[in-house]
Amino acid sequence: MSYQKKQLSILCVFITIELVLGILVQTTSNTLNTIVSFSSVVLAFLYSLLLIKKNKDTFLTSVGLFTTVCADFFLVVMNPRIQLPAMFFFSVTQICYFLRLYFNEDSKTRKIHLIVRIIVTLVSLGITTLVLKDKTDLLSLISLFYYANLIINIVFSFTGHEKSIIFSIGLILFACCDLLIGFNIMSSAYIELSPGTFFYFLAHPGFNLAWIFYVPSQVLIALSNTSLKEKALI
């Protein structure tokens, strides 16, 4: 069997299993749901290991997927979930994706990228401190650090010399998942929503809407590890 046929076979198996797991995330509950949900994230990481080549992109992407697995261990597997280490690992994930983007930019774009990232991150942390005041804690700061860097990664994923639309879409879906989780938390604690409205549906859809975005996000990020230059498919 040729190299490309092997890659195609592995790709088809990977996508099929992730599709099944994605459906099971929505149709199972309790311990089985925990196993299925966590397995979908672990599988994306394992698939990325099959594609590791001697370049920074694939290595950094695989490390990012691994730290995502670590984060979800604390959020999905642990009961009760432990948010602080989870957000730390998610932050490391975004730093890995930042480095992937950074190394694919020219010197001028790199300077702009660093300046924008530093300013946005500091402003986000400053606003968090001003809004929460004495309620500011490490969890709130690291959460804002994480999300600010995710948004910056999305923006700069469209500007690099080695663009990957699959990677960009994966990051967007990642952000949509987190946005829904954050909205759900806000609606249950701070916002009163009227039944029958669109925002009430977002907060109480009757199914796991966040994971509809999350599973594809990890699949696409893993798939972005494949390069045409390495005789692969994506």
pLDDT at 2: 65
Q: Could you write out the three-class secondary structure of the chain?
A: CCHHHHHHHHHHHHHHHHHHHHHHHHHCCHHHHHHHHHHHHHHHHHHHHCCCCCCHHHHHHHHHHHHHHHHHHHHHHCCCCCHHHHHHHHHHHHHHHHHHHHCCCCHHHHHHHHHHHHHHHHHHHHHHHHHHHHHCCHHHHHHHHHHHHHHHHHHHHCCCCCCCHHHHHHHHHHHHHHHHHHHHHHHHHCCCCCCCCHHHHHHCCCCCHHHHHHHHHHHHHHHCCCCHHHCCCC
**Which residues lie closer than 8 Å to 221 by C-beta, 6 or more apart?**
44, 48, 61, 64, 65, 166, 167, 170, 171, 174
Question: Is pTM, for the whole model, over 0.85?
Answer: yes
**Which residues lie closer than 8 Å to 16 by C-beta, 6 or more apart?**
none
Whole-angstrom Cα distance, residue 192 to residue 18?
36
pLDDT at 187: 61
Per-residue pLDDT of the chain (234 residues; tens, 9 = 90+): 566 777 788 889 999 999 999 999 999 999 999 999 999 999 999 999 887 666 788 899 999 999 999 999 999 999 999 999 999 999 999 999 999 999 989 889 999 999 999 999 999 999 989 987 888 889 889 989 999 999 999 999 998 766 789 999 999 999 999 888 877 766 665 556 677 777 777 777 778 999 999 999 999 999 997 753 444 434
- Contact between 75 and 81 under an 8 Å Cβ cutoff? The reply is yes
pLDDT at 188: 60
- Contact between 35 and 69 under an 8 Å Cβ cutoff? The reply is no
| 143, two tokens | 């959460």
∠ CA 210-213-217, nearest 5°, is 135
